[in-house]
Amino acid sequence: MNDSHVLVMEKGSGEAYFREALALLPISILMLDERGRILMVNPQTARLFGYECDQLIGKPVGLLVPALRADTDVPLRADLFALPESHERTPLRELSARRNNGTEFQVEISLNAFRFDDGSVTLAIIVDRTERYELERNRRDLAHLTRVSTVGQLTASLAHELNQPLTAILSNVQAAQRFLTADPIDLDEVREILNDIVQADYRASEVIRRIRAVVKKGDLEVVSLDLAGIIRDVVLLVRGDAIVRGTRVTLDVEDDLPPVRGDKVQLQQVMLNLLLNAFDAMNDMPPADRVVSVTLMRESSNTICIAIRDRGHGLTVDKLDKIFKPFFTSKPQGLGLGLSISRTIIDMHHGRLWAENNIDRGATFFVTLPVGNATEQDESR
Ligand code: ADP
């Protein structure tokens, strides 16, 4: 037992002061007995859960936080509250709580054990996390929405890309039907046709896989990533759009780059935004000049840099920073969210996203990301 984590106090003496102090604190606090029953609540807790203080005394804590449901016939065990064996204070845990009216909300709870001469009590500190969860959910929904809307812009070219293998499949099947009416049937020819059908089918499902990978909705998944692979996938996703707009995309990837840690879908979203913005910036340029160069290189021993360089109209000095603000757009159909969301994503990955004008023409958007190990913070997000 690590005594530095256990507060020992003499029962009786300071108890009244202690209760008064707890009642005054601007945070929600509960005191539980060994069986998980509520010995004391401060008014803040009662208000948070929609009860009067008296209504809660003697009730099991599971009434408020179902995950802390204790079997009231047996003494409260440390593992009941998932307390690590050697400590009697848990760090903050995120759990679902229930109000008197049955509605649920998210709270963070820390449990602290107090030992008296003849027993122990647990002090639970509860922090309402409703707002933070709402904010986080809104941010995720918004990111997803802009991703879907960005991919929506590619619909025409993606439909075209899908149409090609589907047309190939149809004409191959028609050819096979013709071969099957011949006598004798040329099996080699039929085998080859079937092979072509399989290849065309793979091509179609690859297009669908790339769309699904980008519009996927989900929580942040921090894993070790091959950035080059992510960028290649996005370049393939926009290939059809690039052809329709008469734009060339070049990709230059330094060999043997180390992995980065991050969320694949989110990094794809950033790349997609930057590439489509670069295409847009060159709409008015002569076709021969419409080139986007994507470079992936090591910037230092612990950072990788992605540069997306266009030959468009560039950015006026006042725009270099403004473009990262939400709802700033110069496009008639623009949402003005792509760059601000991209910057949030890169910040969350402990990287940097900024823009610079090229010396000759157009702008370059730079993204730097740390190599390898992400902090634990990332993993818990
Ligand atoms: P949207 O594309 O919906 O306008 P973004 O946040 O992605 O939203 O971009 C904001 C603005 O930044 C664009 O409207 C455009 O004016 C400017 N911008 C973005 N990328 C470039 C670029 N490569 N060259 C010039 N201007 C750009």
- 172-188 confidence digits (pLDDT tens): 999 999 988 988 888 89
Which of 316, 313, 294, 315 has the alpha carbon at shortest distance from 305?
294
Confidence of residue 91 (pLDDT cuts 50, 70, 90): low
- Give the lowest-confidence range in 75-79, 107-111, 184-188: 75-79
The answer to whether the beta carbons of residues 61 and 30 sit under 8 Å apart is yes
Q: Which two tokens stand for residue 59?
A: 């009730």
Q: What integer pLDDT is reported at residue 265 of this predicted model?
A: 87
pTM: 0.65
Give the strands of the sheet with 352-357, arranged side by side: 248-253, 291-300, 303-309, 363-370, 352-357
Length of the chain: 381
For residue 312, the ligand 1 atom closest to its alpha carbon is: 24
Ligand 1 site-directed mutation target among 323, 357, 364, 367, most atoms within 8 Å of CB: 323
Q: Which residue, by CA, sits nearest to atom 25 of ligand 1?
A: 314
- Ligand 1 environment, Cβ below 6 A: 273, 277-278, 281, 310, 312-313, 315, 323, 328-331, 334-340, 363
pLDDT digits (tens, 9 = 90+) for 124-183: 889 888 887 777 777 777 778 887 877 777 877 788 888 889 999 999 999 999 988 988
Mean pLDDT, the chain, whole residue set: 83
Over residues 37-46, the mean pLDDT reads 91
Give percent above pLDDT 90 in the chain. 41
Give percent above pLDDT 70 in the chain. 86
Helix, coil or strand: residue 218: coil
Question: Rounded to the nearest whole angstrom, what is the distance from the C-alpha of residue 239 to the centroid of ligand 1?
Answer: 20
For residue 323, the ligand 1 atom closest to its alpha carbon is: 12
Ligand 1 site-directed mutation target among 339, 343, 345, 346, most atoms within 8 Å of CB: 339
The answer on pLDDT for 377 being more than 50 is no
The answer on pLDDT for 50 being more than 50 is yes
Question: Rounded to the nearest whole angstrom, what is the distance from the C-alpha of residue 253 to the centroid of ligand 1?
Answer: 25
Structure letter (DSSP) for residue 101: T
- Give the lowest-confidence range in 130-139, 245-254, 272-281, 339-348: 130-139
